[in-house]
Each structure stands twice: as C-alpha cells, then as structure tokens.
Amino acid sequence: MRVAFVGKGGAGKSAIAGTFARLLARAGGPVLAIDSDPMPGLAHSLGVEVTDAPIPDDAVTERREGEEGPRFRLREGLTPVEAVERYAVRGPDGVRFLQFGKLRGPAWALAGSQFAFREIVAGLPDDGWSLVGDLPGGTRQAFFGWGSYARTVLVVVEPTAKSLLSARRLARLALGERPPERVVALANKIRGPADVDLVARRSGLDVVGAVPWDEALAEAERQGLPPVDAAPDSAAVAAVVSLLERLNEEQTR
C-alpha cells in the first residue's frame, strides 16, 4: 500500500498518518513512514523519540562542475533500499521512519538530505515497503511531486471553510500529468453527520472515512504521545482502523 496524507495545516494529517502507519505495521509487512515536513510533527504521532534525523552528508555526492543531473545524488553503490536500512529510524511496531531533517534555519542546510530523501523514496521497489507519507500543510509540496510515491492521496479535511478551500485545490492533483490512482477525502474532527455531508459536498472528493472530534486524541496530542498508544480505544483511532480496513479491502478487490 502506498498512501500520502495532505491537507491544510492543522487538519490532523500527522496524527492520522502516524496512527495509520502503526496500525498497518501491526498487520504485518514492512512499513515506511515518510515525513517530508521541514517542521517536526509525525515523530510524536508515531512514537519515535528522535525528531531531527537528517540523512547524513556522507550518503550523497555533490555534482561536479560541468556535470549533468541533480545537484546531489546518493553516493555510488548506495541503493534506496540500503539507504532505508541505514538511515530510517526504527519505531514501535517495526515502523521505519524516514525524513530529511527538520529546519532550524535556512533551507539550504538540508539540501543534500532533501535530494537523497527524494531519490530514496522514488527508487523503492513496488513490492517491498508499504509507504505512508505525511506532507506539510498546504498545496505546494503536493503539486511539486513530493507525494508522487503514493497511489492513493488522502486529503485530510476539517469541516471549515478554509480547510475545504485547500481540499478543493488539492483535488486538482488528480488532473496532473502523472496523477495518483486516486485522490480522496478523509473528513476529520467531525462533530456530526452534517459535517461529513459538508465535506462530501464542498471538497469535490469522494469521502473514504470520517474521524470524529475526539477529546482522547486531543489529549494524546497535548501529551505528545501516539494516539494508538495513549488512546487505543478512542473513537478517532477506531475510525483510522476502519479507514485501513477499507483501503485494504479495496486494494485486494
């Protein structure tokens, strides 16, 4: 399975992506959680203690003057699969966690790590890892192909005017040159059936799941704990279980 969570900032992507990755890993098979947000977030929701884990400089070589191609490449002999083994942080339930580091200053400091990250993700074989991506809020990364490893793009949508506006823009991912197999909505922080209906009507997307507003999940976030550990019986985690079951079922059909 290859999925990526996108949406407006604050919509709940990281909490859901982290929970989804942990549940998928418990079901068996290797799972790689892919974090392309230059700000921290997903590590907390996964239960990984390291927040900043850039791919080290010695994993890449810089293009020489006059040479063609990208500015940085994985060093010769280092395959994407080996790079995951080396640099993806080990998390609970066997989840591996790959990121390009987190910003504390100008973005150029992470350039080598970012090139390596994209090369690794693009080069992973189809039959190996399940991929669960968490993109930063907004539309920019999504439209620049940072989630192009995903067959299913899940737009996390709150029932607010701002979140719905972002969702409508993200729906256009389906119209790109190399679109994912599908772009669907996951309604989040839902307080009643009318909210799901609103997301269905206004996002322009099929709604594949609805995660309720859940104090237990909010409290897990406040404590910086993964919802799947701190609130395993919560309605929100149950909704992510249902989402996973639905996507699994649709995949095998």
The residues binding other proteins (CB under 8 A) are: 9-10, 14, 37-41, 44, 51, 102-107, 136-138, 159-162, 221-224
Which of 246, 240, 189 lies closest to 214, judged by CA?
189
Strands 152-157 and 72-74: unpaired
Q: Supply the minimum distance, in Å, between the C-beta of residue 159 and other proteins.
A: 6
Taking the complex as a whole, the smallest distance from the CB of residue 176 to other proteins amounts, in Å, to 22
User: Pairing relation of β-strands 72-74 and 60-62?
Assistant: antiparallel
Q: Which is nearer to other proteins, 136 or 212 (CB)?
A: 136
Separation CA 115–CA 75 (nearest Å): 11
Q: What is the three-class DSSP state of 85?
A: helix
Alpha carbon 66 to chain centroid distance? 36
Give whichever of 37 and 83 is closer to other proteins, judged by the CB atom. Answer: 37
DSSP class of residue 90 equals E
Closest contact distance (angstroms) between CB of 178 and other proteins is: 26
Q: Which two tokens stand for residue 245?
A: 């079951």
Report in angstroms how near the CB of residue 198 gets to other proteins at its nearest. Answer: 8
Minimum Å distance from CB 220 to other proteins?
9
Q: Are 100 and 54 in contact (CB under 8 A)?
A: yes
**Alpha-carbon gap, residue 243 to 16, rounded angstroms:** 10
Q: Compare residues 14 and 113 and give the one whose CB is closer to other proteins.
A: 14
- CB nearer other proteins, residue 91 or residue 136: 136
CB atoms within 10 A of CB 128: 13
Q: Closer to other proteins by CB, 52 or 57: give it.
A: 52
Closer to other proteins by Cβ: residue 103 or 171: 103
Rounded to a whole number of angstroms, the minimum distance from the CB of residue 25 to other proteins is 21
> Minimal CA–CA distance to 153: which of 137, 132, 122?
132
CB 225 within 8 A of CB 203: no
Output 31 or 135, the one with its CB closest to other proteins.
135
First and final CA of the chain: distance in angstroms?
Answer: 13
φ, ψ dihedrals at 135, nearest 5°: -90, 155
Q: Please state the closest distance from residue 181 (CB atom) to other proteins, in A.
A: 28
